[in-house]
Structure 1
Amino acid sequence: MSDTSREEETLGAVREGDNPAEKDPSDWVTGDEPMTAPQRSYLDTLAREAGEEIPADLTKAEASEQIDRLQNETGRATE
């Protein structure tokens, strides 16, 4: 028999008004690691659209910040 009243275990309750997907890149545990391949590809696309050159040796956190900035400049921001 299964116990349907059993609640699933959870971690880190989301506070009202918080978006768990939005975390300051400076707070990332892995933020100082090299940017990921998807970040690199998307950053390349955004930089080309914006007519900018971006260093290729960014960290994950730096890449995220540049992506946010360039999304706003190119009109690709999702907010």
Structure 2
Amino acid sequence: MSDNIESETTTTTSETTETLGSSEPVENPSLEKDPSDWTTGGEPMTDSQRSYLDTLAREAGEEITADLTKAEASEHIDRLQGKTGRGQGS
């Protein structure tokens, strides 16, 4: 028995292929939704938010209440990232 190997033929056309994202980061503050407008913003913060917020608060020398909503946690994370220099992109 022999193995059948199919070859692929690539055809180049002038059509543009739709893509999502960008090969280069683009800063556009209008694309960010305010946490207070999130549909789930009133839910308790996620375990990931809690863990990251704990790390940031320790690095910043702050204590933050642990009963935050997702939106509140996000706002604290943004603030503490600025204070600690984390998450600022290289």
TM-score normalised by the chain length of structure 2: 0.64
Q: Is the aligned partner of 1:52 residue 2:36?
A: no
How many corresponding residue pairs?
A: 65
Q: In structure 2, what residue type is equivalent to 1:56?
A: A
1:20-67: per-residue Cα shift (whole Å, max 9, x none)? 4x2100100000000000000000000000000000000000000000
Unaligned runs of 5+ in 2: 1-14, 19-27
Sequence identity (%): 75
**Helix, strand or coil for the counterpart of 1:54?**
coil
Correspondent of 1:38 among 48, 63, 67: 48
TM-score normalised by the chain length of structure 1: 0.72
**Helix, strand or coil for the counterpart of 2:74?**
helix
RMSD between superposed Cα atoms in Å: 2.1
**Helix, strand or coil for the counterpart of 1:33?**
coil
Q: Aligned partners of 2:38, 2:75: CA distance in 1, in Å? A: 12
Q: Whose RCO is larger (CA < 8 A, sep 6+)? A: 1
Q: Aligned partners of 2:29, 2:46: CA distance in 1, in Å? A: 25
Distance 1:33 1:75, change over 3 A: same
Q: Aligned partners of 1:33, 1:53: CA distance in 2, in Å? A: 21
Greater CA radius of gyration, 1 or 2? 2
